[in-house]
Amino acid sequence: MYAVAGVSGQTGAATARALLAQKLPLRVIVRDAKKGKVWADKGAEVAIADIDNANALAAALNGATSAYLLNPPAYGAENPFDIAERRADVFARAILGSDVARVVVLSSISAHLPAGNGIIRTNHILEKRLGDLAKPATFLRPGYFFENWGHVLAPARTDGVLPGMLSPLTKAVPMVCVADIGALAARLMQETWIGRRIVELAGPTNTSPETAAAAIAAALGTDVKALAVPREAWAGIFAGGGMSPRTIEAFIEMFDGFNNGTIRFEGGEPRRGATTMATAAKALVADHL
**pTM, full prediction:** 0.95
pLDDT over 90 at 288, yes or no: no
Mean pLDDT computed over every residue of the chain = 96
pLDDT in tens, 23-57: 999 999 999 989 999 999 999 999 999 999 999 99
pLDDT over 90 at 143, yes or no: yes
pLDDT in tens, 91-102: 999 999 999 999
pLDDT in tens, 216-259: 999 999 999 999 999 999 999 999 999 999 999 999 999 999 99
Alpha-carbon dihedral 59, 60, 64, 70, rounded to 10 degrees: -120
* Per-residue pLDDT at 43: 95
Cα dihedral 126, 129, 135, 138 sign = positive
Give, in order, the Cα–Cα distances in Å from 13 to each of 143, 178, 191, 207, 287.
18, 9, 20, 24, 15
Q: How confident is the model at residue 289 (pLDDT cuts 50, 70, 90)?
A: confident
pLDDT over 80 at 282, yes or no: yes
The domain ranges of the chain are 2-287
Q: How many CA atoms lie within 13 A of 260 on its CB side?
A: 10
Q: From start to end of 62-136, where are the E strands?
A: 66-69, 102-106
Q: How far is CA 202 from the centre of its chain?
A: 12
pLDDT in tens, 107-128: 999 999 999 999 999 999 999 9
Mean pLDDT in residue range 201-210: 97
Domain 2-287 adopts which CATH fold? Rossmann fold (3.40.50)
